[in-house]
Chains A and B, each alone.
Chain A
Amino acid sequence: MIIADPKPFGQVKEYIKDYKRVLVVGCGTCVTVCLSGGEAEVQLLASGLRIALGKNGKNPVILEGTVQRQCDEEFVVPVLDRVRDERIDAVVTLACGVGVNFLADRLGSVPVFPGVDTTFYGASAGQGLWAELCAGCGNCITAYTGGICPIARCSKHLLNGPCGGSEKGRCEVAPNSIDCVWQLIYDRLKKLGRLSELQNLLPAKDWRTASDGGVRRSVREYLQEPK
């Protein structure tokens, strides 16, 4: 899923300090699971903003809402309706960056501000901990690396084995918290009896499928309406 961290409160407060009717809108999917942008976080942020801005004598109206997904038209239409019907003059979204953009493309003259910092595609790695597992490069090479991605999980995105900074299974960039992914790949291929594959040279990667090839689109023609 997509992982995000709450933005510092002061930053969000600064974004909206001059608006009168602000809607804080959460998202019920990834950011709810990683506890940064669901219903509970919306309540928390909205109350904080009311108190902080009230102290400054601004007293804006802070409204709350959460939709199932902010990346699909059908779920976002009710948000757009509320903005129009309740004369909202600014939106703070706690969805990932996709939600921020999706709303910005549809909100006309009403500004939208991010309430979270979107960080990576990852999974739960323990209580209160999430870790990056995929970089979304668009050309998956994990068939050659035992299912473990060195692009997402190596600090230097190396494709041909560990650098000289791999020590006791740890990455020199942060030995206390980051595993050397090439040690993990090595150990896994050893278990799978496929260690000899590491002798093969993985050639320079074609990054066009990553964000380096321009804005990406994904097409399923069978779902599209006939022209």
Chain B
Amino acid sequence: MSDNNGFKSGSNLERVLRAGHFAVTCECGPPKGADVEHLEKKINLVKGCVDAANVTDNQTAVVRMSSIGASAILVRNGVEPVMQMVTRDRNRIAAQSDIFGASALGIRNMLCLTGDHQTFGNHPMAKNVFDLDSIQLLDMVRIIRDEGKVNSGDPVEGGIKMFLGAAANPFADPFEFRVIRLAKKISAGADFVQTQCIYDMDRFRQFMKMACDMGLDKKCFILAGLTPLKSAGMAAYMNKNVAGISIPDSVIQRIRGAQKGKQAEEGIRFLIEQIQEVKEIPGIAGVHIMAIEWEDRVREIAERAGLLPRPAIEA
């Protein structure tokens, strides 16, 4: 399968996880343009705090610098990227070509997603693609990597090394299907999974119990997704308006109850408690901290949660 001592890609994230460390990833959203300086500033903020940083692919369907281009800049700056790729904007021809390009640029992790519908972004009038769904994308990349064949069956010239990720949302419906969908992603090729942000810890525990009962935690590394709440207003907004995110009232009340000007600090305190909580949940291999436009707090979060220094593992 792999000629790299059993590693799928030998990426830092894969080596950290295989060595049994509790992994830490974060997000590094590309700029809405070609502003490299802005991106490099963000990269420096998270450098040394995480094992890899996700580079989003036109998230919420808002046009930004490509995840491949931005990921290559992360590589250049010494932070390992998890290149996200959505099927919304590219058919299987473009996707495969982009994956070869990404591999050639030294990108070793990718997260396969369907992507947010374009109605949520800044080009709701665009034509979408959805030639594949996220599971079919995983399947396609796995076959390129492990069997050296593109989707049509033609041989690949020179292999790719890619540690394959998927997303899982334990908070969307139908709940009982969520773990089946995770299983499908794993059999299609997911080596690791990052979950949607968790606020309802009871439901997440229930989801993880179902996943562990099916043995899914033994087949792939599951990273718990967490997003710090900046304010009670943000929490209430997300709870009401973002499908697939549910924030219990008790959490919103807790943030609201903080002293004036201290809601952000309370949000971070809550996040750090959550990190400790998920560490104790059977089957959890790490955390994925999505500090949206809050990269300047990632170091502090990692520090206070006792996640630093990050392990340095020889390639």
Contact = CB atoms under 8 A, between A and B. Distances in A.
Interface stretch (A50-58, A70-78, A120-128, A198-206): A198-206
B180 A198 contact: yes
A204 B133 CA distance: 8
Nearest to A155: B117
Nearest to A165: B243
Given A164-B167, A201-B187, A204-B136, A157 B130 contact: yes
B140 A166 contact: no
Interface stretch (A32-40, A89-97, A109-117, A169-177): A169-177
A157 B183 CA distance: 20
A62 B286 CA distance: 72
Contacts of B114: 156, 158, 163
B169 interface: yes
B169 A173 contact: no
Given A161-B177, A162-B174, A201-B187, A156 B128 contact: yes
Interface string A180-211: 10110011000000000011011111010000
A162 B136 contact: no
A168 interface: yes
Nearest to A174: B119
Contacts of B247: none
A164 B243 contact: yes
Contact of A164 (B131, B169, B180, B183): B169
Interface in B216-237: none
Contacts of A198: 177, 180
Contacts of B117: 155-156, 165, 172-173
Interface in A135-171: 155-170
Contacts of A186: 174, 177
Interface string A67-108: 000000000000000000000000000000000000000000
Nearest to A163: B114
B177 A204 contact: no
Given A173-B119, A201-B187, A166 B130 contact: no
Contacts of B188: 201
B262 interface: no
A173 B128 CA distance: 14
**Which of A161, A202, A203 has the most B CB atoms < 10 Å from its CB?**
A161
B155 interface: no
Interface in B177-201: 177, 180-181, 183-184, 187-188, 196
Given A201-B187, A204-B140, A172 B180 contact: no
Contacts of A187: 174
A160 B136 contact: yes
A156 to B, nearest CB: 5
Contacts of B196: 164
15 contacts: A156-B88, A156-B117, A156-B133, A157-B133, A162-B174, A162-B177, A164-B169, A164-B244, A165-B243, A170-B243, A172-B244, A183-B174, A186-B174, A198-B180, A201-B135
